[in-house]
Amino acid sequence: MLQGSRRKQGAPGQLEPMLNGSSQDHPPMSPQVQVQGSGERAPAPEPPPYPPPPPPCTRPRLVFHTQLAHGSPTGRIEGFTNVKELYAKIAEVFDISPSEILFCTLNSHKVDMQKLLGGQIGLEDFIFAHVRGETKEVEVTKSEDALGLTITDNGTGYAFIKRIKEGSIIDHLKTVCVGDHIEAINDQSIVGCRHYEVAKMLKELPKATPFTLRLVEPKKAFDMIGLRTKSTKSAGEGRMGSGRETLRLRSKGLATVQEAPSEFEERAARKVDDLLESYMGIRDVELATTIVEAGKDKTTPDDFAEALDSVLGDFAFPDVFLFDVWGAIGDVRNGGI
């Protein structure tokens, strides 16, 4: 049976006469059809789905606290997925340029290379940003093959000194310090170069020929700032679970929250980091961790070399280095020191 009114074709807004006489005689209007004030039908709202979908699972915000290492109010940052974005967030909080930031340390305002921010941040870590201080130039004469420098970089184009070997050429130059950013070699800017590139340039400098290093030291920190072990966050803010979780920053792709490295991974990464220093004159915990991740589940050196080449092919590691790394990972896996 037809109910209600039906619009004539070609006559918008007009109604046909009721089939059952007056409008008072026709049955009640179907609940699926509503009449607007103009006499036009309007579709009834879609019924809610049944059962209703569960509310979306919202991921807790990861909020970190930060200060400038030489002294500042405490700021809050979030929403970064790599080191470059992290520096941009810190710079925004303190109204400085991201290029002012040389490197960051975790839970300590001091120039402590053991606390250097690498590829992972604990969810309760407090971030201290070390910014550009004074610029200085030092003349160096390379009397030996090795200068005694170990280089690392901040992931955004600044290489800096991570270690100075005791008794080395550089150790005798007291104006050169751990934490100094190497801005230029013989007036050639090296901003934007990776640490291994800078180490190679220094290694290839001829002996007995003086050269100039232009260095930028970080601003000196105030001793009154205490060592931080955890940030004071409100309940539930930025927490993802156990205290062993970390935010893993990656040079490519999004950051991920994952469990902190196992004892095996930490020990293996330390040994690989030592090998990086021996072979390439660099130290880089993030790089060492990536190498260990590539090799921990491989069963042959060839599989390991292939896996490493797929993620770190740009480094062109020599075969002798790869074999030593494979041996170091195997020693740790088998319970060696």
Q: Among 109-123, 197-211, 240-254, name the one with the lowest average pLDDT.
A: 240-254
What's the pLDDT at 59?
Answer: 45
Give the C-alpha separation, 134 to 311, whole Å.
Answer: 37
Give the C-alpha separation, 281 to 151, whole Å.
Answer: 6
What's the pLDDT at 240?
Answer: 36
Encode 175-213 in three state secondary structure: CCCCCCEEEEECCEECCCCCHHHHHHHHHHCCCCCEEEE
pLDDT bracket for residue 78 (50, 70, 90): very high
How confident is the model over 61-68, as a mean pLDDT?
A: 90
What's the pLDDT at 250?
Answer: 66
Q: 297 or 233, which is more confident?
A: 297
pLDDT bracket for residue 54 (50, 70, 90): low
What's the pLDDT at 70?
Answer: 94
Element (H, E) at 266: helix 263-280
Strands 75-77 and 256-259: unpaired
Q: Among 119-133, 223-237, 252-266, name the one with the lowest average pLDDT.
A: 223-237
How confident is the model over 243-255, as a mean pLDDT?
A: 68
pLDDT bracket for residue 234 (50, 70, 90): very low
Looking at every residue in the chain, the average pLDDT score rounds to: 79
Query: What percent of the chain has pLDDT above 90?
Result: 47
- Closest by alpha carbon to 324, among 264, 275, 289? 275
Strands 64-68 and 126-141: parallel
pLDDT bracket for residue 319 (50, 70, 90): confident
Residue 329 pLDDT greater than 60, yes or no: yes
Strands 120-122 and 126-141: unpaired
* Per-residue model confidence as pLDDT tens digits over 86-103: 999 999 999 999 999 999
Residue 68 pLDDT greater than 70, yes or no: yes
* Per-residue model confidence as pLDDT tens digits over 120-178: 888 889 999 999 999 999 999 998 888 999 999 998 899 999 999 999 999 999 999 99
The pTM assigned to this predicted structure is 0.70
* Per-residue model confidence as pLDDT tens digits over 264-277: 888 999 999 999 99
